[in-house]
A and B are shown apart, each in its own frame.
Chain A
Amino acid sequence: MGMQSQDIIRRSATNGLTPLPQARSHEQEVAKLIDVSLCTGCKGCQVACSEWNDLRDEIGHNVGVYDNPANLTAETWTVIRFDEREDEAGKLEWLLRKEGCMHCAEPGCLKACPSPGAILQFANGIVDFQSEQCIGCGYCIAGCPFDIPRISQKDNHAYKCTLCSDRVAVGQEPACVKTCPTGAISFGSKAEMKDLAATRVQELQSRGHEGAGLYDPAGVGGTHVMYVLTHADQPSLYHRLPDNPQISPVVRGWKEWLKPVGALGFIATLAGAFVHYMGVGANTTDETPPPEPKSKQDNAEHDPNENGRDA
C-alpha cells in the first residue's frame, strides 16, 4: 500500500495525465550510506530486517561460504556478501558488502513493471513495491541492474527492501541502520549522506586507501542507498557490484521506444478507422447490420497500458 503521508513521484505503468499526489513540496530525498570499511559482517542488519519486516526465511544450507541465506529471496531482503581478495603484494582483504535494493533515482524495476501502481517511488526517493498490485510477471527482475527483486514461491508477488518506508514515514531510520553495532550504516538526507561519505573517503584515503570513494552510480540517476567503498575504482570486487549499472537496453527499448511506437500505432489505427468511418461510412455487408462504434469503456481499459508513460 502507498502511504497517505508520502508524496509519490512515480507509479508503475501509469500515465502522467493524472497528476500524482504532490501536496508536500518540502520533502527531502533520503539516503542510506553503507561504509563497507566499517562492516564486520555480523549480519545484525539481516536479523533486524527480518524482525522489523516480520520475515522468516527457510533454515537453509551452507554452500561453502559465510553468506547466508545464500542469496536474496522474497523473505530475505538483505544479505552480507563476503569476498576474499589478495592483492599483488599478497595482502589479504575480506571485502564485505551488505547487498539489497539500491533505491535508484531512475528505477529499472519501476520502468519495467506493467502493473499499474505495483511499484511506487516516493518523493523522498524510496522505491517501494505494492505487493497486492503485483501480477508476478518478474519484469522488475529483468529491469533491475542490481538483480534485487525476488518473486515469492508462496504468493507469486515480488519483494525487496522497502528502505523501511514505514519507519522512515514516521521519522525513524531503517531497522538495519538502528541495529548496526559498528555504525557502518548511516541514514539521513541524501545531501547529508554525501557529506558524511566525503569525510569518510578522505579519512580512508589518508590512511592509504587511494581507491576509496563513494558509489552513487550516475547510470541509474544516482541511488538512495550508497556505499563508501575502499576500492571505489573497482566496485565489481564487492561481489559483482556493477561498475556502471544501467537499466537494460531491452527494458529501455521496450518502454521508451517500442511502447510509444506501439501506442502511436494504436492511435493511428483508431484514427484511420475513424477517418474511414467518417469518410466512407461503416463497413457493411448485406447479411449483417452495421457494428456499433468501439465503446468508451474498451478504450478506458486499454489506455493505461497502451498510452502510459512511466514518468
Chain B
Amino acid sequence: MREDFSFHEGLFSGYDAEKRSYDKSSWAYERDAQGYAVVDPTLQNPRCVINLLRQHAARYTPEVVAQLTGTPEKDFLHVCETLAATSAPDLTSTILFALGWTHHTNGTQIIRTAAMIQLLLGNVGMAGGGLNALRGHSNIQGYTDLGLLSLRLPGYMNLPKDSQQTLESYMQAVVPHADEPGQVNYWHNTPKFFVSLMKTLWGEHATPTNNWGYDWLPKWDRSYDMLAYFEMMHQGKVNGYIAQGFNPLAAMPDKNRIRESLSKLRFLVTMDPLDTETSNFWQNEGTYNDVKPEDIQTEVFRLPASCFAEENGSIVNSARWLQWHFEGAKPPGDAWNDGHIIGTIFTKLRALYAKEGGAYPEPVLNMQWNYRAPEDPTPEEVAKEANGYALADITDDKGKVVVRRGELLPDFAVMKDDGSTASFCWIFAGSWTQAGNQMARRDNTDTGLGTTPGWAWAWPANRRILYNRASLDVQGRPWDPKRQIIAWDGERWGGADVPDYPLTSPPNSGVGPYIMHSEGVGLLFAGGDKLVDGPFPEHYEPTETPVLSSALGKTALRNPAARFYADEKPRMGNPTEYPYVATTYSITELFRHWTKHSRINAIMQPEQFVEIGDKLAGKLGINAGDMVRVSSHRGYIEAKAVVTKRLKRLSVMGKDLDQVGVPCHWGFKGAARKGYLANTLTPGIGDANSQTPEFKAFLVNVEKV
C-alpha cells in the first residue's frame, strides 16, 4: 500500500471533517514502472495489505470486543474458535446474514468483515461456503441485479455522473485497468455490456455517431436514494411521487417526518395490491396517525396492482437463481399488473411529449418500446429483452456465424460493442435462449455436491458457486478431494458446476480465481472508489448510542462518513432522556406490513407488541401483557409488553445496557388490530455506502402506560 495511507484515531487518511467525506487517493497500491501493483509474495514488506490488516485488527482484542459489544469474552472466543476450525481443507462454513447486519451506519463494512473472514479462512468458492445474503424481500436480489439503485445501471454497471459528460470519459472511469499482468479482469468487457444496454434502451436511435445515445442517459450529481429523496421532498423540491409496491410511510425511518414530506407533494401515486398506510397517510387515524386531512393538499391516486402470484415472471433468489413462476389466479377487480400500469403511463406520457414537446423530450421519444401491446408489455417480452438479441449475424474469431440476426443470445460472451447485440442486463444473458425459457426448467438432477444446474437458471452463465476455482489450489488440486466441484481434464475445466475461470487456462497459469477483480485475487483492502468509509472495516457506534467513549480510545466514535442532514440533527436523542437501546425486526408470523392484511396471518399475531428484557421489566415494574409506551426523540408507540429472557442485559463499556425489541409489522390498515408504525421511532440516517436506514440500533425510553 502507498506510504501515505494511514489510520489514526478512528479516521483513515484523507478525511475532510467539513464535508464528512474522504479523499480516497491514498487508499491505493504502490505501483511499479509498468503501473502494476507492487507485490511481495513473501508477505514480509510491512506495507503488504495483510500486514496492515494485522495491525488494524490487533486493536480488537477479545477484551475490547467484549467491552464494545457486551458479548462475554468466552462466548466470543467460542464463536471465533468454531469458525477458525473450518479453515481446514476438508471443512468449510457458510455465513448467512440478513437485515440485522445491513441496518447500521456501517452495515456494508459489517458484511465486508464477514467476507474478509471467509477469504482468510479459505471458505470462498467452496461448495457450502461463502457469504450468503438472506434477502428481506423475495426479489431484492433481482432489484439489485436490474440496477434499480439510483446510481446504478442494470448488471452492476454505474450510471454516469455529471463529471462524465462524454462516453469516452465514462468508459475511462468504469473500465478497470489491469492491476496485475495476466489476469482476466473481466470488467474490461464493460463496453460490450454497456453498448448492448444502450441498443435495448434506444433501439435504432442508438448509433456510433451519437455515442449510442449516451447524452440521453441521466448523469447524477448526487445520490437519489430514498433517504435523499424524502429529504428533498421535505424541502418542497419534489412535485410528485410514484410508490410502486412500496409503503414508505411504514418502511422508511421517522414516520412522522415522512408524513410531513408526503404532505408537501402535489400528487402521490401508489401502485399496490394492498390498501397501504402510504396511500392513506392523509387520513386521521387517531393517535396512530394524528393528522388533519383538511391541511393536506396532496392529491393521491391509488392504482390497484396484481401481486406476484397473479402474473407470470421470474424471481431471483439469494443464490442468483432466476426462477420462472406462473400466474396462479387472475387479479381481483380492476387490478392490473405493474407492466400494464407502467406501459400505460409511459405511452400516455410519450404521446404528450410528442404533442407538446417539453424541456427534454428526446430520451422519452427515442426510447425503444417495441412491445406487441405498447401499453401492456408482457413478462415474456421483457424477459427476452433482458437476455438480449443479435441485431446482426454474430461470428466467432474464425468468421463462422454463431448467432443469427434476430436470434436470442446464448450467453454474454458473444456480446459486441459495435451495436450488433442488444441486452438490457448482460448478467441475465442465457436466461431465455433459442432453446427456450431456461428459468422455467425444473430438472433437479444432482450433478454433484447438491448442484442442480437443470433447475431454473443462475446468473452468471448458470454458475451455481461463484469463485469455484478457489476450491482448488494453484496446481489445480482440490482442497478437499472428497468434495471436488470442478476439475482440469488436461485441456479444459469442467465438472458438476460451470467453472468460474477461463476454461482453457491450465493449472499453474498464474491466472487468479477472482476474475472480476483486476488483481485476480480476493480483496482484503477495498481501495479506490469502492467504499466511502474506509478500505478496512472499523467499528463505529450507532448514530444514537449510549456509549460516550470507545474502548478503542479514538476520537471518531460514530461513522465519520455517514451522510447526516442538518435538519436530522435536532431529531436525534441522547442517552439521558432515552437510556435504552431499541432494535426493530420482523417475526415469522408476519411479512413486513403486507400480511397483516391477511386474516389468518393477523390471527397468528393480532396485536402490536414490543419485547422487553426481564431485568428491565423488573426495574420498571412491567408485567407481561401490560401496555407500555416506547418513545424516541421522534415520536412514540404504545404496545403490549412481551417480557423475555431472550433480550439480555448487556455490560457495555462497564455499564448495564438494556435492550427493547420492536417488531415492525402493525399499522393502521389491514386485518390485524390497529397499531403504530414502528418506524415512528427510528432515526433518519443510513449506511454510509448503501444508505440503508439504521433500523437496528437507536435510543428509546420505556414507560408503563
Contacts and interface: CB of A to CB of B under 8 A. Distances in A.
B640 A51 contact: no
B371 to A, nearest CB: 38
Contacts of A3: none
B600 interface: yes
B685 interface: no
B604 A62 contact: no
Interface string A41-54: 11100110011000
A64 B624 contact: yes
A56 B646 contact: no
A42 B599 contact: no
A76 B600 CA distance: 11
B603 A58 contact: yes
A280 interface: no
B225 to A, nearest CB: 32
Given A86-B645, A92-B646, A94-B646, A60 B624 contact: no
Contact of A60 (B588, B603, B671): B603
B608 A64 contact: no
A76 B284 CA distance: 35
Contact of B640 (A57, A62, A92): A62
Interface stretch (A65-73, A138-146, A189-197, A222-230): A65-73
A62 B608 contact: yes
A278 interface: no
Q: Which of A46, A68, A92 has the most B CB atoms < 10 Å from its CB?
A: A68
Contacts of A65: 624-625, 642
B645 A92 contact: yes
Contacts of A66: 587, 605, 642
Given A40-B588, A42-B588, A42-B589, A62 B644 contact: no
Contacts of B644: 84
A63 interface: yes
A47 B623 contact: no
A300 interface: no
B645 A84 contact: yes
Contact of A50 (B603, B625, B646, B648): B603
A61 B606 contact: yes
Contacts of A68: 589, 603-606
A59 B672 CA distance: 7
A29 B75 CA distance: 46
Contacts of A60: 603, 606-607
Contacts, number: 74
A47 B604 CA distance: 8
A-side interface size class: 20 to 34
Contacts of A86: 645
Nearest to B645: A84
Given A47-B604, A56-B600, A62 B642 contact: yes
B124 interface: no
Interface string B606-630: 1111000000000000011110000
A83 to B, nearest CB: 11
B271 interface: no
A297 B414 CA distance: 93
Contacts of A84: 644-646
A190 to B, nearest CB: 30
B673 interface: yes
B461 interface: no
A117 B644 CA distance: 45
Given A59-B673, A60-B607, A66-B642, A51 B625 contact: no
A69 B673 CA distance: 13
A68 B643 CA distance: 15
A56 B605 contact: no
Interface in B355-398: none
B341 interface: no
Interface residues of B, number: 29
Nearest to B608: A62
Contacts of A64: 609, 623-626, 640-643
Interface in A161-176: none
Contacts of A63: 624-625, 640
Q: Which of A56, A59, A63, A92 has the most B CB atoms < 10 Å from its CB?
A: A59
Contact of B625 (A47, A58, A59, A62): A62
Contacts of B701: none
Contact of A59 (B587, B602, B648): B602
Contacts of A56: 599-600, 603
A64 B644 CA distance: 9
Given A42-B589, A64-B625, A92-B645, A50 B600 contact: yes
Contact of B589 (A43, A57, A92, A94): A43
A256 B402 CA distance: 86
B642 to A, nearest CB: 6
Contacts of B671: 59
Interface string B642-684: 1111101000000000000000000000011100000000000
B318 interface: no
Contacts of A50: 600, 603
Interface string A24-40: 00000000000000001
Nearest to A79: B604
Nearest to B640: A62
A59 to B, nearest CB: 5
Contacts of B645: 84, 86, 92
B646 A59 contact: no
A43 B625 CA distance: 20
A86 B605 CA distance: 25
Contacts of B604: 43, 46-47, 68
B601 interface: yes
Nearest to B614: A84
Q: Which of A51, A63, A86 has the most B CB atoms < 10 Å from its CB?
A: A63
A59 B605 CA distance: 8
Contacts of A58: 603
A66 B646 CA distance: 12
Nearest to B607: A62
Nearest to A60: B606
A206 to B, nearest CB: 17
A57 B603 contact: yes
A185 to B, nearest CB: 16
Given A46-B604, A64-B625, A59 B642 contact: no
Contacts of B643: 64
Nearest to B622: A64
Nearest to A94: B646
A76 B608 CA distance: 20
A258 B606 CA distance: 46
Contacts of B608: 62
Interface string A240-265: 00000000000000000000000000
Interface of B: 587-589, 599-609, 623-626, 640-646, 648, 671-673
22 contacts: A40-B588, A43-B589, A47-B600, A47-B604, A50-B600, A51-B600, A56-B600, A59-B599, A59-B606, A59-B671, A61-B607, A61-B673, A62-B606, A62-B642, A64-B609, A64-B643, A65-B625, A65-B642, A68-B589, A76-B603, A84-B644, A92-B648
Given A59-B599, A60-B607, A64-B609, 9 more contacts: A43-B588, A50-B600, A56-B600, A58-B603, A62-B607, A62-B609, A64-B625, A68-B589, A68-B605
Interface of A: 40-43, 46-47, 50-51, 56-66, 68-69, 76, 84, 86, 92, 94
